[in-house]
A and B are shown apart, each in its own frame.
Chain A
């Protein structure tokens, strides 16, 4: 539905300086996902690139030497991989579990206690992640957690490629509501939506009321990857989004002989504990 036509890139005339001259690397202006890399410049030449290529996933430089003014096609487009221009990731969970904080920590690497406002309706932030050398644009939707907003937000599920479902480990009610959220998600989200359960605020060891095992157990019951996070300390925040991005990238651009990406295994391997046992 949202796939794009075959992308074409017209190389500038020899005299026009191109931004990717001289071995610099940038995002492919055609597919916006791959890396565009200029190769060698002809010795004593004018500085116009002789080799450019879009490196999407396992694909290498494809275009080879090109005369100025030539029109080339981005390989990601010609190979009908049709990556989406952006992936929509939606944050859901009860009011006050820390959805906005998690997003801001991921987006800006910051956590300023007492600087967050309650989210009303829906808000967006964009972030580009590089996954295995490929740029993946995430558009992250931050939603209102209050129950009455669910009747508004469930309309958005349809367009979400991934969902991060949060609860607050210091708030039992937010954990108890996870089942209701999952029911809601199964009803309204796409069947193949990427879903992950996050227990947030693990930095508050004193106030913790939901044990990690409880979260793990629930996640296992529903077959959902799980990790504990802290927007305050940054624990596993990057990982949660990276794991989602990896899964989405693999799904959207999988090559025939590439092994399947296993989100569950990846999360298990990479996840870090909250450090409660070390102290």
Chain B
């Protein structure tokens, strides 16, 4: 009896992905949300089953895009990410490649940098503990070492450990995680992780420009107090909202990221800022502003992932890839001219 109680207690303290819930976790409001979300999940599961049973497979189409925006059921997530990102095709075209990378000669410096982060990746996740069986630290190590030798221009950049960690939790497969990581870093995201991090710096500036257009009062506040965008949003971009937003919300964002590309990151950022405009504008000084940007990523607005995902496609208004590309070009040039 007692052990059953303990078991139940444990199941509550750890979420389905293995993350321990913080001590101040608000179970009551989470349960209220989840019981509503369960209805959505059930409906989506039925729809997706039908879609996957069809003979057309998963190809880019308005219907698939709509389905993905409404959330991929967790049991199909790995498969759909693999297909829509092109990771599946790459994996099939390069059989044995991943294992050859692992067997090949290693760059000591790269391996050292990865090892430094092994104990520092999701210590709050029971599956990443040294004592866990199987211990995902080994899997994570393999994926990162293989990737570092595959994409030598990037090697290893902090942040990739968290991204690879999520991929491993979802796919439960080393090789698939590797190819998904390659899809993200090699194709979907601009060069966020290369040593000069130009893509990251560019996109932070692009966000600043977009805020100027869409939430001008906040842009003006930042300007008045001399707060650089990089100070408050660098983690949003590098970690793709891991450890910033709740796990379920991050996964829903990634669903769209794999299908629609890096534009989604701006939609999420703009929604967070626009939704909390009045709150941010209460800030009267530099540290206040920093605090506000930390607080806007917490609370029911972001926990309610389904309504949050609806909002990211309506709240910021139109956001064309052409606009983003143009801004990226001008921001990049500006950064390069500044040296």
A residues engaging B (CB < 8 A)? 1-2, 4, 85-86, 88, 95-96, 114-124, 126, 137, 139, 144, 146-149, 151-152, 155-156, 159
Contact = CB atoms under 8 A, between A and B. Distances in A.
A123 B285 contact: no
A85 B285 contact: yes
A248 B287 CA distance: 16
Nearest to A144: B158
A148 B158 CA distance: 9
Contact of B231 (A86, A120, A156): A156
Given A117-B243, A139-B287, A122 B225 contact: no
Interface stretch (B94-102, B215-223, B233-241): B233-241
Contacts of B123: 114-117
B238 to A, nearest CB: 5
Contact of A124 (B157, B228, B290): B290
Interface string B125-144: 00000100000000000000
Given A117-B243, A120-B159, A121-B235, A159 B197 contact: no
Given A1-B226, A95-B158, A152-B201, A116 B287 contact: no
A149 B158 contact: yes
Contacts of B197: 148-149, 151-152
A137 B287 contact: yes
A151 B113 contact: no
26 contacts: A1-B226, A2-B286, A85-B284, A85-B286, A85-B287, A114-B123, A116-B120, A116-B123, A117-B122, A118-B117, A120-B158, A120-B235, A120-B238, A121-B159, A121-B234, A122-B231, A122-B235, A124-B290, A137-B287, A146-B157, A148-B194, A149-B197, A152-B230, A156-B230, A156-B231, A159-B286
- Most A C-beta atoms less than 10 A away, residue of B120, B225, B291: B120
B116 interface: yes
Main secondary structure of the interface of A (DSSP, over half): loop
Contacts of B157: 146, 148
Contacts of A88: 286-287
A145 to B, nearest CB: 8
A165 to B, nearest CB: 19
B122 A86 contact: no
Given A2-B225, A155-B228, A118 B287 contact: no
A120 B239 contact: yes
Interface residues of B, number: 40
B239 to A, nearest CB: 6
Contacts of A144: 158
Contact of A118 (B120, B225, B230): B120
A89 to B, nearest CB: 11
A114 B286 contact: no
Contacts of B317: none
Contacts of A96: 116, 120
Given A126-B291, A151-B196, 4 more contacts: A120-B238, A121-B230, A152-B200, A159-B231
Nearest to B288: A85
A95 B235 contact: no
A159 B226 contact: yes
Contacts of B124: 115, 117
Contacts of B196: 148, 151
A144 B116 CA distance: 13
B171 interface: no
A23 B162 CA distance: 52
Nearest to B195: A148
B271 interface: no
Sorted nearest first, the 6 A-B pairs with minimum C-beta distance are A121-B234, A118-B120, A86-B287, A139-B287, A121-B235, A148-B195
A116 B116 CA distance: 12
B294 interface: yes
B323 interface: no
- Most A C-beta atoms less than 10 A away, residue of B230, B231, B243: B231
A118 B130 CA distance: 16
B286 A120 contact: no
B177 interface: no
A115 B288 CA distance: 27
